[in-house]
Amino acid sequence: MITIKNLSFSYEKNKIFDNFNLHIPEGQACLITGINGVGKSTLLRLMAGVLNPDKGGIVFNPKLGRKPKQKIGFISDRLSLYDSLTVAEGINLHMSAFNSPNFDDTLIKHTKIQYSSKIKSLSIGQRTIYHLSLVLSAAPEILLIDEIIHSIDAYLRKYFIEQLIRLLSERRLTVIMVNVNFHDIEHMVDRIILLKSGRIAVDEKIEALKEKVKRVVSSSRPEGFPILSQEGHSDRPDYFIYPFLDEYRSQIQGEVEDLNLTEIVTAFIGGEYA
């Protein structure tokens, strides 16, 4: 669905990506993560066409037609919208820009958003829901979401994720998310990409990654194993091992534990800060 070829991008002299390559197939829910400032949001903005690459390019599936941006829904962490417009005016503008006939109010009707309210008067959570409603109304085939799910309240977050899962299965929607809070979305993500210094450090299917990263709780440091990071300063710190092979189980002294997505990503990011 999206192929990034030899992409280079820099902010002034700060090089973010250099010959970066990535392919995301249709219908995949992909999570991009990494430490702050690694270029996660920049990558989404490049895919959304908000930023232009210095070199290389982003190729979309030809089925998106001559105007791929029409089929891309992008919600940035800045929740950029025309604040001075009313909710109704914003809907009209978005619908006419994306040539979309009907506004899908499925999400918005669960909130207390008034159509006559100015967008600037909406709370962050309401803005997020409003923006999501606008984007989903345009029936995107690629959805780019930048660290905003956590700003919605628990009820609407659950509702939104359910809707996203439905779209993923019904419409083979391609979802690319940048997130630091994985608890809610773990069950819907297929693939995780960890960025490090402008390149891909980890690119794995979630289940495969869970098999490859394990926590070892041991009183002594498990020497000779690929330790990703270490957590805790007690007598028995936790050691995260990547890649973990099955034969290690018999060799390691201590308990080997499975990790959830949040713990895996924390281990990787912790390794970078160490």
Partner 1 sequence: MLRKELRELWKPALARFSLVPILMLLRALSYVIAGAKIFILFDQIFIITLAVTSIWIAHNLGITVLKSEYQDRALEYLLTFPFSKYKTLGLKLTARSLILLLPLGIYLLSAAILTNSPRIEVILDNFMFSPYFFPIWCFCILLNGFFCGLQEDRNWRAISGFITFLSIVLIPIGISSLFRIEAQAASEFHLVIIIFLGFCLVLLTHAVAFFPVFRRFDLRFSKKYSNIIRFMGLPILVLLDVVAIVILKSKML
Chain center to CA of 218: 33
Rounded distance between C-alpha atoms, residue 157 and residue 135, angstroms: 16
Listed residue (73, 83, 70) closest to 107, CA to CA? 73
Q: Of the two residues 45 and 191, which places its CB atom closer to partner 1 in the complex?
A: 45
- Residue 28's φ and ψ, nearest 5 degrees, are -95, 140
Element (H, E) at 256: strand 255-257
Query: Could you say which residues in the range 113-142 bind partner 1, by CB under 8 A?
Result: 120
- Among 6, 19, 83, 150, contact with partner 1 (rule: CB under 8 A): 83
The least CB distance from residue 65 to partner 1, in Å, is 10
How far lies 72's CA from each of 6, 10, 174, 215, in Å? 21, 23, 10, 38
- Among 74, 160, 225, 240, contact with partner 1 (rule: CB under 8 A): 74
- Among 85, 161, 180, 200, contact with partner 1 (rule: CB under 8 A): 85
Query: Could you say which residues in the range 150-189 bind partner 1, by CB under 8 A?
Result: none
Q: How many CB atoms are located within 10 Å of the residue 155 CB?
A: 10
Does 199 participate in binding partner 1 (rule CB under 8 A)?
A: no
Are 34 and 199 within 8 A, CB to CB?
no
- Among 19, 59, 63, 78, contact with partner 1 (rule: CB under 8 A): 78
Does 104 participate in binding partner 1 (rule CB under 8 A)?
A: no
Rounded distance between C-alpha atoms, residue 126 and residue 35, angstroms: 28
Does 227 participate in binding partner 1 (rule CB under 8 A)?
A: no
Does 105 participate in binding partner 1 (rule CB under 8 A)?
A: no
Query: Could you say which residues in the range 1-40 bind partner 1, by CB under 8 A?
Result: 11-12
Does 93 participate in binding partner 1 (rule CB under 8 A)?
A: yes
Residues in contact with partner 1 by CB under 8 A are 11-12, 45, 48-52, 67, 69-70, 72, 74, 76, 78, 80-85, 89, 93, 96-99, 120
